[in-house]
Structure 1
């Protein structure tokens, strides 16, 4: 399941949905990303995320397909918020089930590395100085590179 939406999500509900569809899987791994109240340049009061409807969902479907090619997985759930969010609000949920924990952990990390570096989302951080476009950090790029080997 892939959702791109403005409204917040209920982490517990998403976990339970994964669990109820996990069948004989023995592992569930989830990640929830939050709006940080800081960055290298100082404090951050919020975030604005934009996307290209249709293109975004297709790109997320592609990364799920790539994850399934690499690991034996059960369920995959991705929820990514768009629009304006304040500090400490939830941005993204990634949940993966698998028969084995290693597959679930690695697939969840793979999906997040892709979301941080290649998914068609554009982010602006809000601070006292106004809005500033955010680019992927070199550490995010390096993390994503290991999956290309």
Structure 2
């Protein structure tokens, strides 16, 4: 069973293994997360922000963050620091984590952005979650809450 928890005080147990997996794949944003967390630079603790951990059978399988999007002309959020460990992929975990972040963002604002340039699999994944390609800002994809 997939369990999502909000990270607030410390990075979760198992983060070192997640960090090592990311580094072995050449993914640097988990190291940036660790550095900014340690320095207090970004803790996802402002209103509208969140950092979630995804656990599978009690093991840390992935993380994903939601922050304020400073580059948008309207109030917006950005999905960032999103990573699922290779051993836990293809089990619905990324979709569950993304869905929680999307729901939280679109409960607050009409626009959500992400940068899917980190890996070749990222763009198709985010498009499957409803994002559209968009390079009008420092992002690669956007999701807009539908009115209706």
* TM-score (structure 1 length as normaliser): 0.33
- Please state which structure has a larger fraction of its residues in strand: 1
- Please state which structure has a larger fraction of its residues in helix: 1
Larger radius of gyration: 1
Whose relative contact order is higher, 1 or 2, with alpha carbons under 8 Å and at least 6 apart? 1
